[in-house]
Amino acid sequence: MYTVPKLKSFSAAALDKAVEKLLAALKQEAASAKNEADWKIFRDRWMARKNGVLTEINDLWLKAAPKEAKREVGQRVNELKATVTQTVDKSRPGTATAVSRADLSVKASLGTVVATAAGPDALDITLPGIRRPLGSEHPVIKTMHEIVSVFRNLGYSVQEGPVIETDYYNFEALNFPPNHPARDTQDTLFIAGQEAKPQRERLLLRTHTSPVQIRTMEKMKPPVRIVIPGKVHRNDPPDASHSPMFHQVEGLAVDTNITFCDLKGTLDHAMKALFGSSVKTSFRPSFFPFTEPSAEMMVSCFICGGSGKRGSEPCRPCKQTGWIEILGCGMVDPNVYGFVDYDPRKVSGFAFGMGADRIAILKYGVHDIQLFFNGDVRFLEQFG
């Protein structure tokens, strides 16, 4: 019984020889298929997808062929496929219908076309393609898109700004005066060699996306409703929960008669849209230089449902409290309006900001923020 050999050489002569042997075996086996049952065995032996002769020549000849021989081998394999299909069809006892003949002639002529067109530079479109792996969205980017789309649905527009900022936009205009202790909480990386410049013009890597609030208000009169996704930096050594580079999504709404109720209603809605309609929100007082009053918002733990426990185990993400701190927010400090020429007697507004990486960590149960930035495909492809 014929078996497909591995080829030692892919030269034209070696191919001719191999093809000749294969065709001889085909002819002989076709002739001995006298009844329907024999013919089916014959057909499966040559054409079965799993280990039929055609599949084997594809694997042992075409796939194994060196790059320079691929075209030549591909052409012969295609011709063999046409011949085998034709022979198997023809050898069926008592048949060979008009339909299959027509079918065969189409296949045969396609074979001829391919064979004639395949000059040295021709592209053989019948060769198997090269499979390229599909990428997927990075989990942090995916989370940022989700947060942004919640606010876009509320009518917010998206704004972006420079990652390298001046001291003025990153600190001063946000009500962090020079030497104010709140600057210590946002130590960052400064661009070297700027000692000659006045402090407010010195460049640094922004510590938050808030400078974009100032930049937007400078060029836009109220009402303002914006959401700001972006990359930020802090002078933090990397560990499981810190990274010198991370991502924020920040929002700002300024108009007449905006109150703390609007802030609470908006953020409560957003958290339900992000984490499910059953989450509750809670606010507690906090401090940020650019908002007054300021608050930290917590959501009821969407992992343990607020119970602090998962079965008999303690719930780690909420540290058994049933609440997860998720963002900082507050009413825009009237001092900030002074920097952008808004009249604090006429307008009011709120701002909020959240860490996109932290939310992605919570959503996907990731235990080390570094995994997001190591570029390990084995980690990232789990989110595809």
What is the DSSP pairing of strand 157-158 with strand 224-233? parallel
Q: Which 238-257 positions form the footprint of Zn ion (CB under 5 A)? A: none
Tell me whether residue 62 or residue 303 sits nearer to Zn ion (CB atom): 303
Instruction: Lay out the site mask for Zn ion across 19-58 (x = CB under 5 A, - = otherwise).
Output: ----------------------------------------
**CA 137 → CA 134, 367, 382, distances in Å?**
10, 19, 11
E strand residue ranges, the chain: 157-158, 164-166, 203-205, 224-233, 245-255, 281-288, 291-300, 309-310, 313-314, 323-332, 348-355
Q: How far is the CB of 339 from Zn ion (least distance, A)?
A: 40
Q: How far is the CB of 313 from Zn ion (least distance, A)?
A: 10
Tell me whether residue 82 or residue 301 sits nearer to Zn ion (CB atom): 301
Distance CA 49, CA 46 (A): 9
102 phi and psi, to 5 degrees? -60, -45
49 phi and psi, to 5 degrees? -60, -35
Q: How far is the CB of 365 from Zn ion (least distance, A)?
A: 12
State the DSSP string of 82-127. HHHHHHHHHTSTT---HHHHHHHHHHHHHHHHHHHH--TT---TTS
Query: Which tokens sit at 219?
Result: 């060029």
Q: Does 279 bind Zn ion (CB under 5 A)?
A: no
Q: How far is the CB of 286 from Zn ion (least distance, A)?
A: 21
Distance CA 250, CA 228 (A): 5
Distance CA 288, CA 166 (A): 19
* Residues contacting Zn ion: total by CB under 5 A: 5
Instruction: Lay out the site mask for Zn ion across 304-323 (x = CB under 5 A, - = otherwise).
Output: x----------x--x-----
Q: How far is the CB of 324 from Zn ion (least distance, A)?
A: 7
Q: How far is the CB of 306 from Zn ion (least distance, A)?
A: 7
Instruction: Lay out the site mask for Zn ion across 286-305 (x = CB under 5 A, - = otherwise).
Output: ---------------x-xx-
Tell me whether residue 212 or residue 304 sits nearer to Zn ion (CB atom): 304
Positions that interact with Zn ion (CB under 5 A): 301, 303-304, 315, 318
